[in-house]
Amino acid sequence: MKKPTGQTPDETEVFRQWVADIRTDFHRHPELSGQEIRTTQKIRKILTDLGIQATIFDDITGAVGLIRGKAPGPCLAIRADIDALPLDEVGGRPHGSTIPGAMHACGHDANTAIVLGLARKLKDTGLDQQINGSVKLIFQPSEEKLGGALNMINQGVLDNPKVNRIIAGHMDPNFPVGQVAVFSRLGHAASLSFTLKVQGKGAHGARPHMGINPITVGAAFVSGLDGLIQRQVPPSQSAVISVGSFNSGQAGNVIPEIAMLAGSIRTHNLEIENKLKQALTDLAAGVGTVFNAHCNLVFKEGAPLGLNDPDVCNDLKVAAWQVVGKENVHVLPFIMGSEDFYYFTQKCPGAMMRFGCACENDGIIHPLHSPKFDLHKDALAVGVDTMLAAVKAYFKLE
């Protein structure tokens, strides 16, 4: 990673520690989707202390910071997601979560710290007063539940001033720290969540023939999913069906009445999504008929198909080149994760990039959404410097 210019080594280290401390604070105090009250207040205080106009979004969670330049011009938005996941952190790290049942296992604490670091960098260097236009910092709640972006859009976050371009970054442990990944067009998968309620018939465990075991029905449904991709999706296309929740019963000697399953469909082809949706509907009806159970399958739209603007992608790639060098920048064909950031790109040109955060020597190797997930703090510096390079390029600053 190249050293930033305009600062002494001591100043650079102080700044980087400031960003790392912010990330640590957020990591130790994670808040779940829709509950990011402390996080929001902390963001507003940091922005206000930097002399940046800050508004708490919807008066509850989510914040917007607006940096106005020296003259009118286009508005560049930079988005960070701020919510945590409902996990208990494993590992006993000093900076670990102090909140039972909540953990920043997707790196949103780092995403937020990076954008706050960018805000300070723009103010400290005086670059904010060289801008013809404005920079809007969007701190979005409820990404994990896939509702925060659309809610902010519906309440006008892309207006006043109107956003002309939006960018975002995210941690990625699939790459070592010091590397950056960008897209060329196709990005994250569209997601469709589903729940299946199986209504069976309760009975004594010694007399299963007198009941209808919803666990057996649900298991048949899950087993039937295994071959759907092979039968329904061409090898040239991408699709994933996953079941992440299966709950039923309270005792080992009681046939329960109900089983509940939840999962998701992810694909980069909306025709395939519709095809798989119908296949799951048919499968649920089929197992219900075979076992004489009632199966209620409900779908809920998740994140949209991730389409990045090619010009914005190229600009992010060039910005990353300047920070980590061409040899450390990767162009991804797509990824199967989903992101509600792409609701923003339906309204204005935008793109995401990924910051490598793994470090095998330090044991930082676990994937996103793992209770053991962590990141190398140098990924924060890469994120800030790459974002800064993107801002400078967009506004044609030296």
Q: 287 with 220: CB under 8 angstroms?
A: yes
* Dist. CA 216–CA 206, nearest whole Å: 16
The burial of 85, by beta-carbon neighbours within 10 Å (0-12 exposed, 13-18 middle, 19 or more buried), is given as: buried
Specify the DSSP class assigned to residue 50: T
Q: How many CB atoms lie within 10 A of CB 10?
A: 8
Q: 70 with 131: CB under 8 angstroms?
A: yes
Provide the token pair at 338. Answer: 């989903």
* Dist. CA 239–CA 36, nearest whole Å: 32
CA distances from 311 to 167, 187, 334, 352, 377 (A): 12, 14, 17, 12, 30
State residue 75 phi and psi, 5-degree precision. Answer: -115, 125
Residues making up the binding site for Mn(2+): 106, 108, 144, 170, 369
